[in-house]
Amino acid sequence: MRGFGSELSRRRPVLTLTPSTENSLSSSKSRSTWMVVVDSVSHISFDASMSVADIMHQMKEVGVLGAGRMGRATDIVTRMLGDPDCFTYLSMSGPMVPGGLRLVISHLVREGWIDAIVTSGANIVHDLIEAYGGAHYRVPSGKSDQELRIGGMGRIADIFVKDEDFEKFESEIHSFLETLPRAKRTLLAPSEFISELGATLTDSSSIVRQAYLNEVPIFSPGLMDSMLGFHMFTFSTTTEFSLDFVKDLRILGSIVTETKKTGAIMLGGGLTKHFTMGSTILKGGLDMAVQITLDRPEGGSLGGAPLVEGVSWKKIQQAALFETVIGDATILFPLLVLGAINRQ
């Protein structure tokens, strides 16, 4: 594959295990012996000229801990993006747009690497804020939340958004809703509504705009749980307006039944992960999947659930290729997709 250096040599030593038949390890009594072939841990061979694809390949050869997971995940995404029969989802929860991934995602859509997006309503809102001229900012050092509130700033971790940018967003959304033909105001699925919105944008860096231009549907099952949903509600108090969420399931269902294979890159968990995986149940689950998450499994949340759990729910094929990578998606996702694209 392109972007690779020469294959690293791998030792496959034969490990001889001789468990004692007694409790004492020093027992001289008869012991049983069997042979196990194992792979040794390789070490990353550093070279200043290495590409991202090179280092992802070496991480796979390391084979253990986070490096091994990341290397295997890159292999899976490489196959996913390179398979013309694979319909590829990108699902995301959490502040992926405020966290710096907006251009990465819009590039993937523009270049045809992604076939559908499943996202929280918040990421759509933050994409639109920038499309309407707003921005996301770094929280000034030493500022308290009380000071940010007084200054008209809302905080997301170490990011903040200005109230005035949300006010501009509100104005633009209400203007869009006013121009939406009355015949469409009660007939659109959320994905169709988002596409209609994308048609009105001029920002070529916008995810929503690129999705419209490239006919990539954006599904947002939790759209009402966002400022966009709130403004649709306020608009509906004076004018008849509603979205058909069931229609989105019909749209997605028809897509999935026509595809030969399905793959998903899932950033975070929760509703978007469940919606993505659940849409493939009628086909026996995803054929390829990678999840990047910081959530833990002990609480039983979907965000922390390893992908192998999806096999029992028929959301992951029994013979599927899948990997869960533990880490911050704003760090790992750009490396993952760049490493995979470098190999195409």
Q: Where are the domains of the chain?
A: 84-133+163-330
Mean predicted confidence (pLDDT) in 22-51: 65
Summarize the confidence of residues 137-160 as an average pLDDT. 90
Beta bridge mates, 91: 118, 266
Burial of 185 (0-12, 13-18, 19+ CB in 10 A): middle
Q: Are 300 and 87 in contact (CB under 8 A)?
A: no
Q: Is 185 left (phi over 0), alpha (psi -120 to 50) or beta?
A: alpha
State yes or no: is 247 an active-site residue.
no
Query: Which of 42, 57, 36, 34 shows the shortest CA–CA distance to 11?
Result: 42
User: Could you tell me the CATH superfamily of domain 84-133+163-330?
Assistant: Deoxyhypusine synthase (3.40.910.10)
Confidence category of residue 20, pLDDT binned at 50, 70, 90: very low
- Tracing tokens 């251009």 back to the chain, one arrives at 103
Phi, psi (deg, nearest 5) at residue 52: -60, -40
Structure pTM? 0.86
Please, are residues 256 and 262 in contact by the beta-carbon 8 Å criterion? yes
Q: Does position 288 have pLDDT exceeding 90, yes or no?
A: yes
- Name the active-site residue from 60, 261, 273, 315: 315
List, for residues 253-265, the tens digit of each pLDDT value: 999 989 999 999 9
User: How many Å apart are CA 332 and CA 56, to the nearest integer?
Assistant: 11
Closest of 69, 74, 123 to residue 101, by C-alpha: 123
Contact of 141 with 169, CB cutoff 8 Å: no
| Cα(242)–Cα(233) distance, integer angstroms | 8
Mean pLDDT over the full length of the chain = 87
Dihedral angle at the C-alpha atoms of 290, 320, 214, 282, nearest 10 degrees? -120
